[in-house]
Amino acid sequence: MRVALLGTGIMGTGMAKNIARAGIPIKAWNRSKARAEPLAEHGVTVTDTAAEAVDGADVVITMLHDADSVESVIKNVTLGPETVWAQMSTVGIAGTARLAALSDRFVDAPVLGTKKPAEDGTLVVMASGPAELKDKVTPVFEAVSSRLMWIADEPGAASKLKLVINGWMQCVLAGVAQTVAFAEAVGVDPRLFLDTIRGQASDSLIAQGKGAAMIARDFAPTFALDGLEKDTDLIAQAIKDSGVDASVITAILNVTRRARDLGHGDEDMAAIYYAFRPDR
């Protein structure tokens, strides 16, 4: 088993470490090689080019920003006839269909989680693709996850589920951001909000974790606001295409863009909070 991982951003870095930790030989490539080079200390072979990483690989993982960046990289490498391509970036429904058309050994496998789960190997992997490829990719998916869900035997089903889940998460995140800003504006300590809902039906890990980050103004990125904007745009388009009213997610997309325009794109997605402040 030899793995190539293309894209060592916030998520890809943790995934590469855990694949190597599982004893699976892995090569990694990133557009900025300097960002990938620290992985060498963890047993990962860092390559100069994507083609070099893919050469001889049994499984190729793409963990890049969007469908366009994935396509541009894959079209410039040669996948072996037995190589399985595990596309683990969030690229939406149309993007997944476009990429799946490039290979008949394609597995649609987006993940649920951010920086810490990626580092800890506790992501949730949602996979869909030809059943005969399952055994080949399972050891790799298990190395990066605490839960592997095989959704269907055709690509696309996993990405649809990912958008459904992310749409719900975006609603919770935006609601927490508005609530923290509202509490501060009317003179209520927002920590009382988090303390009051703790353990109740209205509580969630997102509310507690991101709410605390907003209150502390701790926006070190575990998942960047720019990525949130990209994903929310994909969700909004998919909801519109389905015929469902998209007014809620469209409002969240607009708020996300406002926070980005205020200069918080490189910060954690919790920085959506700044779009709600009365002094914005």
Catalytic-labelled residue, pool 27, 160, 162, 210: 162
Per-residue pLDDT, averaged over 3-24, amounts to 98
Neighbours of 269 (CB within 10 A): 28
Q: Tell me: the pLDDT tens digits for 102-132? A: 999 999 999 999 999 999 999 999 999 999 9
- Parallel, antiparallel, or unpaired for β 111-112 and 145-152? unpaired
pTM: 0.94
Q: In whole numbers, what is the pLDDT of the chain averaged over residues?
A: 97
Q: Which residues lie closer than 8 Å to 215 by C-beta, 6 or more apart?
A: 180, 190, 191, 194
Per-residue pLDDT, averaged over 179-188, amounts to 98
Q: Tell me: the pLDDT tens digits for 213-224? A: 999 999 999 999
Domain 3-153 has CATH 3.90.1560.10: no
Judge if 3-153 and 160-275 fold alike in CATH terms: no
For the chain, percent of residues with pLDDT exceeding 90: 100
Q: Tell me: the pLDDT tens digits for 208-265? A: 999 999 999 999 999 999 999 999 999 999 999 999 999 999 999 999 999 999 999 9
- Does 162 participate in catalysis according to the annotation? yes
Give the Cα separation of 110 and 22 in Å (integer).
20
Structural domain boundaries in the chain: 3-153, 160-275
Indicate whether 280 pLDDT > 90: no
Q: Can you give the pLDDT at residue 201?
A: 96
C-alpha 124: how far from its chain's center? 11
Give the Cα separation of 137 and 135 in Å (integer).
6
Q: Can you give the pLDDT at residue 236?
A: 98
Q: Can you give the pLDDT at residue 197?
A: 98
CATH class of segment(s) 160-275: mainly alpha
Q: Tell me: the pLDDT tens digits for 49-80? A: 999 999 999 999 999 999 999 999 999 999 99
